[in-house]
Amino acid sequence: MLAHSFQRRTFATNPNDIMKRVKGTQAIRKITKSMQMVSAAKLKGDENRLKNGIAFGRALVPLLPDSSFTLETEEMPEPTSTKNLVAVISTDKGLCGGINSYATKMTRAVHEQLQKASGEPAPVLIFGSKSEGQLKRSHGAYLVAVIDECWKQPMNFGVASGMATELLNAAADSEQISLVFNSYVSKIKYDTTVQRIPNFFNLLTQSEDVPAPLDQFELEPDSNLDAIQNFNEFATAAILFGACIDNATAEQSSRMQAMDNATKNAGEMIDKLLLEYNRARQSKITTELIEIISGAESLES
């Protein structure tokens, strides 16, 4: 028979070992505090970009037939089209709380709803690398592309246009895009949101009629195909740009809160370790005194 030895992890009782843990936790607290301050500074810049750009990013949203909904919505509205592509905006960096987990949770819920409605699984596209690992485990067979490193520079319309091109290429056979992102509400809150965007160009090529609500407008040039294609590319880029700056602001607010909580937790752990250190130190002193007194009494006797 083979004897297996298992190592049991125990807390240090030696004052020197406890002090090493205190110093290590203090170093972690300095890092989390610094990250909190950096995120707070970046959040101001993201809030300014959101304030200046959100009107442009949401200007075409009233033309969309489906209204947006959030993770807190009790019952998700049925999509106007069952031939969908699901696109999720996540982040490239971690340490930002549960913002990517909520986006992944909403993506799975939307994908399940579309699969029940159409009987076929919808393809999934990911912006940012952090949702890739979570979705690969459950929806790896449906992933068509993962586009990362979108956030190296502050989001602008040029980058959003490139992202929109990749999105439309992946959605070439889809009639609608379900875009999942996190919408900034305040420094302590964000809503995981779904915005459904029609693929107007695909709808036109299938029916040869200008899709609603664009049929209410006069189009120039006379070729509906060129006009709708141009509008479809611009509208998708504009809405995606608004979602990206919204998600970037929510990311920084979530990271700031996560680092603030981590700093507080580290402070509480340091207090507990110092209390444990003082008890261990006092116990060691008491033991040494008892040994000295016992040795002195034995000499006298």
Residues of the chain with pLDDT > 90, as a percent, come to 49
What is the predicted pLDDT for the residue at 290?
Answer: 85
pLDDT recorded at residue 208: 67
3-state SS of the chain is CCCCCCCCCCCCCCHHHHHHHHHHHHHHHHHHHHHHHHHHHHHHHHHHHHHHHHHHHCCCHHHCCCCCEECCCCCCCCCCCCCEEEEEECCCCCCCCCHHHHHHHHHHHHHHHHHHHHCCCCCEEEECCHHHHHHHHHHHHHEEEEECCCCCCCCCHHHHHHHHHHHHHHCCCCCEEEEEEEEEEECCEEEEEEEEEECHHHHHHHHCCCCCCHHHCCCCCCCHHHHHHHHHHHHHHHHHHHHHHHHHHHHHHHHHHHHHHHHHHHHHHHHHHHHHHHHHHHHHHHHHHHHHHHHHHHHHC
Rounded to 5 degrees, φ, ψ at 282 are -65, -40
The pTM score is 0.83
Is the pLDDT assigned to residue 184 strictly greater than 80?
yes
Q: Does 110 score more than 70 pLDDT?
A: yes
pLDDT band at 120; cut points 50, 70, 90: confident
- pLDDT tens digits for range 192-217: 999 999 887 777 766 666 666 666 66
At residue 107 the predicted structure's pLDDT band, cuts being 50, 70 and 90, is very high
pLDDT on residue 167: 93
pLDDT band at 274 (very low <50, low <70, confident <90, very high): very high
pLDDT band at 221 (very low <50, low <70, confident <90, very high): low
The band of 281, judged by pLDDT with boundaries at 50, 70 and 90, is confident
CA gap 88, 240 in Å, rounded: 11
pLDDT value at residue 217: 66
152-173 pLDDT, tens digit each: 888 999 999 999 999 999 988 8
Predicted confidence band at 296 (pLDDT cuts at 50, 70, 90)?
A: confident
Comparing CA positions, the residue from 134, 136, 123, 133 lying closest to residue 87 is 123
